[in-house]
Each structure stands twice: as C-alpha cells, then as structure tokens.
Amino acid sequence: MNVVLIRRILTTIASAALLLWAVATIVFFLQHLVPGDPAMAILGGASANPPEETLQAIRDQYGFEDPLLVQYGAFLTGLVQLDLGESYTMKQPVTAIVSEQILPTLQLTGAALAIAWALAITLTLLTAGRRGWLGRLGAGIEVVFAALPHFWLGVVLLVVFAVVLQWLPVVDDGPLGLVLPALTLGIPLGGFLAQVTRDEFDVALRQPFVLSALSRGARTADVRFRQVLRHAALPGIALSGWGLGSLISGAVVVEVIFSRQGIGQVLVAAVNAQDLPLVIGVTFVVALVYVIANILSDAASVLVDPRLRHTIGATS
C-alpha cells in the first residue's frame, strides 16, 4: 500500500480531531463567560422562581461550583465517550436530540447544495465565454442570486409558490416540503459558485488546449462540456466544503421561516433557554459536519483533477 497516501489520511484525521477539540474547548469556555445561573436555567428560568435549597441541590448535582478546569475535564471525558451530557430543558441526552434533529437539516443542506451546483453549472455552460448580451445576462443573474438574503428570499418564495400559486405546501415533512427551503438556501450559494466557475471557465477557454481540440474537429459544445467545465468546476468544488458549512448557518434562519424540524430550530431554542449542553452539542456537531464536508470536497477534487491522484502515486 501507498505510504504517502496513508500518511495523508492519518494527517487528515489528526488535524480534524485537533480542530474538533479546539471548537469544543472554545465553545465550553465562551459559554461559561456568559452571565446567568445554569441551575436557574435547569429549573425553568427565573420566572419559575425556584427556592434557594433546590437551586443549591442542582448546583451540587451538576458540579457547577467545582473549579472550571475540573468541569472542563469532566466535559472532555464525556466528549471522547460521545456523551455530551443531558439537555437542561428537554431532560434528554444531547446526543439523542442532535442525532434526531441533524437528519432533516442534512437533507435540507444536501438538497440546497445540489440545487446550487445545478444552477452554477447551467449558468456557466449557457452563458460563460459567450459574447454579447448572453454573457452579460449570466453574470448579472449570478450577482443578483448571490446577493439575495435567505430571510427575504424564503418569505418571497413562500408567499409566491405556497400562498398565491398554491403549487407547493406551506409546511410539509415530505419531499415536497423540502423544495422551497432548499431553493431558499441553494439559490444564493448557486450564484456565488457560478461566479467562481464562470471566471475559471473563461480562463480555461483561453488556454491553447481549447484551440488544439477545435483544430482536431471537436465540436465547440463538446469542448465546453467535456473539457472546459471540468477545469471550471475545480475551484467550485474546493469551495463546496465551506459552502456546506455556510448552508448549515443559513439553515437556522430557513428552518424558522418554514417551521421545519432541524438543528437550527434546536439551536435557537437552546440559546434562548441557556441550555449549555445542548448549545455545545449542536455547535460540536456542526463543526463535525464542516470537517467531514471539507474532507469530502478534497476527495471530490482528487476525483476530478487526476493530477492530484498522479502526484500522490508518483511519490510512492
């Protein structure tokens, strides 16, 4: 087996672990800087007006008065056992809540990423490297798409397609209910990706290998689709790891607008209720998704760009 490849995989895993540890640590300490008594949060907040003895009992039970480092140690020990503690407000293990809620969010962001890529590729193939109004139209559409804020786009799509035209349901847990939220998330990212792929497409189109292919009788459409698009996709793929992460932040807003289940809804509720374990749990899982998304986008780059594959092989 290839030594260089193994070393690459090990480095990737090690750096991912390091990143996750850093995220967990930062979130843990930040949460402890926030004013407020977690024991109060567990007992339902100040409005519940719990007696002082009960508060003290809770503090002792959860170890809130232990030194911070001891609490941090307990937190890390739990973390490596995949135990993120119990939610203060929902009285359930955080892992159970998060693993249940992450699925709809992943569906949403996955669908949004697919829409974004479909948009970017279509816009690029149809309009990039074209002279005259078609090229300018494509570039214009991308700027507009990339500039659309999620909260506005979501409401507009909801009003137009669900309320006025009634083509799609307002709230639905099935695949139909996924269409509008996924469009809301996917369209701005698609505009952004298309800007990147268009630039690269234009650069690749000026390369001598394009002239070379045409001089052998290749069709222009073939050269664009089979050769140039591949070059154009590379920077977009590299950005997709980041894109998926940004979609999860976007999902927080979109899930509220469309009243969808998901990690975004959970996070908003947890922050409002000062539910420390749940906030940390959600943040940690989002970081995990980020890391995995970046590994996947790296793998996709290697798949599309054979030079990366070959250089790994060549040094073995």
Partner 1 sequence: MTTLITVRDLSVAFDGKEVVRDVSFSLRAGECLGIVGESGSGKSVTARSLLGLNGHGAQVTATTLDVGVDVLEATPEQLRHLRGSRIGYVLQDALVSLDPLRTVGTEIAEPLRAHRVPAAQRPARVQELLTSVSVPEPELRARQLPSELSGGLRQRALIAAGLALDPQVLIADEPTTALDVTVQAQVLELLEQNLSAGRAIILISHDLSVVERLADHVLVMHRGRVVEEGPTAQVLTSPQDPYTRRLLAAIPSASSRGDRLSDLPPATITAVPRERAPEAGPVLEAIGLGKSYRGPDGRTRPVVQDVSFTLDAGETLGIVGESGSGKSTTAWMALGLTPPSTGQVLLDGEAWTGIPERKRRSRRHRIAVVQQDPLSSFDPRWTVGRTIADSLSVGQGRRGGARGSAGSSGRERDRSARVAELLEAVGLDPAFAARHPLTMSGGQRQRAAIARAIATDPEVLVLDEPVSALDVSVQAQVLDLLGDLQSALGTAYLFISHDLGVIHHVSDRVLVMQGGQVVEHGTADQVLHAPQHPYTRQLVSTLPRRDLQEAS
Residue 210: partners with Cβ closer than 8 Å, 6 or more residues away: 204, 223, 227, 228
- 91 lies in the site for partner 1, by CB under 8 A: no
Of the candidate residues 214, 292, 299, 303, the single one contacting partner 1 (CB under 8 A): 214
Of the candidate residues 159, 219, 225, 242, the single one contacting partner 1 (CB under 8 A): 219
Of the candidate residues 16, 57, 76, 218, the single one contacting partner 1 (CB under 8 A): 218
In whole angstroms, the minimum distance from the beta carbon of 259 to partner 1 comes to: 45
Tokens 């020990």 sit on residue = 77
Tokens 């007992």 sit on residue = 43
In whole angstroms, the minimum distance from the beta carbon of 110 to partner 1 comes to: 27
Q: Could you say which residues in the range 104-143 bind partner 1, by CB under 8 A? A: 131
Question: CA-based Rg of the chain, rounded to a whole angstrom?
Answer: 24
Residue 25: partners with Cβ closer than 8 Å, 6 or more residues away: 72
Identity of the residue, 133 or 152, whose beta carbon is nearer to partner 1 in the bound complex: 133
- Supply 166's token pair: 């009634």
- 208 lies in the site for partner 1, by CB under 8 A: yes
Interacting span for partner 1 (CB under 8 A) from 9-17, 184-192, 264-272, 306-314:
306-314
Identity of the residue, 122 or 315, whose beta carbon is nearer to partner 1 in the bound complex: 315
Identity of the residue, 7 or 32, whose beta carbon is nearer to partner 1 in the bound complex: 7
Enumerate binding residues for partner 1 (CB under 8 A): 4, 131, 207-209, 211-219, 222, 227, 230-231, 304-307, 310, 314-316
